[in-house]
């Protein structure tokens, strides 16, 4: 067990490789109750969300979700978030565990600055969150619910009952596989967890810990806020221009992000594969001659692709796929190569 964002969480149950492969080939179950939920509502809520986040929330229909960033005035990350449109004037932001208090205070302060009719509630203690991920996820969850899961498209959600418990179910996840995240009342979370384990048994379901969550997300090229980017990294530098609503009006950090898009960008997060036998990890330095020019932000040996991969922040001159990188690993210089992302993409999109 390790401490993570104030929660005691298992790194692994049956082993990281075992759990990782279960998600890629069958189905895995994740206790992600540590994730935070911040709800905003009111007549002016859309304008507030548009001002504080990088993506264009006006494009969301009720029941739809988008990946976005809560941005500083410099276009850097307060946090990366999922934005759920619960109603015409009601949004839910799913935020990282370690940032719940910071994000809540940030949002409250921005709302106070701008005024308008917007209420903000840190609803994190009202939701338990369980993720069911893998090619068999739909069959497992469908066995326990009348919600027509096949009708929920990727990055949409619905409400209903799972195992007799009132829940919200979204077709989302942090693994690169098809799957669902189930928001349940904490008092009934154990019942939902146990029901999913039982319903998943014929499909080979495995409970998965933080270790597999990290290898799965990295293999799928999904960023980890706090490791791959933070308040010193802009959304464009993180390689996430696709979560910037370029056509929307002014928002926090828009000026700098637009300038970077127009050509002022000088560094970027890239995916790499090791060419020498070694595993580069967070904090290892990217070298150009004797100068340190960049940093590895995530790295691991991935169980499914069976390669040592990672993400690194490098100068733009070293960012093109095919570029050789030299990484200092505990004093040893090893070779890596910039590769296109994502490292892994599932063959059957949801």
By CB under 8 A, name the binding residues for other proteins. Answer: 11-12, 15-17, 211, 215, 277-279, 281, 300-301, 303, 308, 330
Cβ-Cβ contacts under 8 Å for 240 (sequence gap 6 or more): 69, 80, 223
- Residues in the chain, overall count: 350
State the nearest-atom distance from the C-beta of 31 to other proteins, in Å: 18
Nearer to other proteins, 253 or 303 (CB): 303
**Residue nearer to other proteins on the CB measure, 16 or 336:** 16
- CB nearer to other proteins: give 92 or 280: 280
Minimum CB–partner distance for residue 214 and other proteins (Å): 8
Q: Which is nearer to other proteins, 106 or 343 (CB)?
A: 343
Taking the CA atoms of residue 91, residue 97, residue 102 and residue 108 in that order, the dihedral angle to the nearest 10 degrees is: 20
CB of 337 to other proteins, least distance (A): 18
Q: How far is the CB of 76 from other proteins (least distance, A)?
A: 29
Query: Shortest approach of other proteins to residue 225 CB, angstroms?
Result: 20
Residue 102 vs 307, nearer CB to other proteins: 307
Answer yes or no: are the C-beta atoms of 145 and 161 closer than 8 Å. Answer: yes
For residues 148 and 136, what is the distance between their CA atoms, to the nearest angstrom? 15
Q: Is 322 left (phi over 0), alpha (psi -120 to 50) or beta?
A: left
> What DSSP state is assigned to residue 244?
S
Cα first-last separation, the chain: 33
What's the rounded Cα separation, in Å, for the pair 254 and 219? 30
């Amino acid at each position: 067990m390790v401490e993570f964002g104030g929660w005691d969480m298992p790194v692994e149950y049956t082993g990281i490789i075992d759990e990782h492969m279960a998600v890629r080939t069958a189905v895995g179950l994740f206790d992600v109750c540590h994730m935070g939920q911040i709800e905003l509502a009111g007549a002016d809520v859309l304008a507030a969300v548009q001002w504080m986040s990088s993506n264009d929330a006006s494009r969301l229909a009720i029941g739809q979700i988008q990946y976005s960033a809560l941005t500083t005035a410099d276009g850097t990350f307060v946090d990366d978030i999922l934005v759920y449109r619960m109603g015409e004037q009601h949004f839910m932001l799913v935020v990282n565990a370690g940032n719940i208090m910071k994000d809540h205070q940030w949002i409250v302060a921005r709302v106070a600055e701008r005024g308008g009719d917007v209420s903000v509630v840190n609803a994190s203690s009202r939701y338990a969150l369980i993720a069911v991920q893998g090619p068999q996820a739909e069959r497992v969850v469908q066995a326990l619910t009348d919600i027509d899961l096949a009708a929920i498209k990727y990055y949409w959600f619905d409400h209903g009952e799972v195992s007799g418990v009132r829940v919200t179910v979204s077709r989302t996840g942090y693994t690169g596989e098809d799957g669902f995240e189930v928001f349940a009342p904490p008092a009934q979370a154990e019942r939902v967890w146990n029901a999913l384990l039982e319903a998943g048994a014929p499909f080979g379901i495995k409970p998965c810990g933080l270790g597999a969550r990290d290898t799965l997300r990295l293999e799928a090229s999904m960023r980890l806020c706090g490791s791959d980017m933070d308040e010193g990294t802009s959304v464009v530098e993180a390689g996430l221009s696709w979560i910037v609503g370029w056509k929307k009006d002014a928002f926090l950090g828009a000026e700098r992000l637009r300038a970077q898009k127009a050509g002022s960008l000088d560094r970027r997060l890239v995916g790499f594969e090791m060419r020498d036998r070694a595993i580069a990890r967070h904090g290892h330095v990217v070298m150009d001659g004797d100068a340190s020019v960049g940093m590895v932000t995530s790295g691991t040996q991935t169980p499914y692709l069976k390669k040592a991969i990672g993400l690194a922040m490098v100068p733009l001159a070293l960012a093109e796929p095919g570029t050789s990188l030299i990484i200092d690993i505990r004093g040893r210089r090893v070779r890596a190569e910039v590769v296109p992302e994502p490292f892994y993409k599932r063959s059957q999109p949801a």
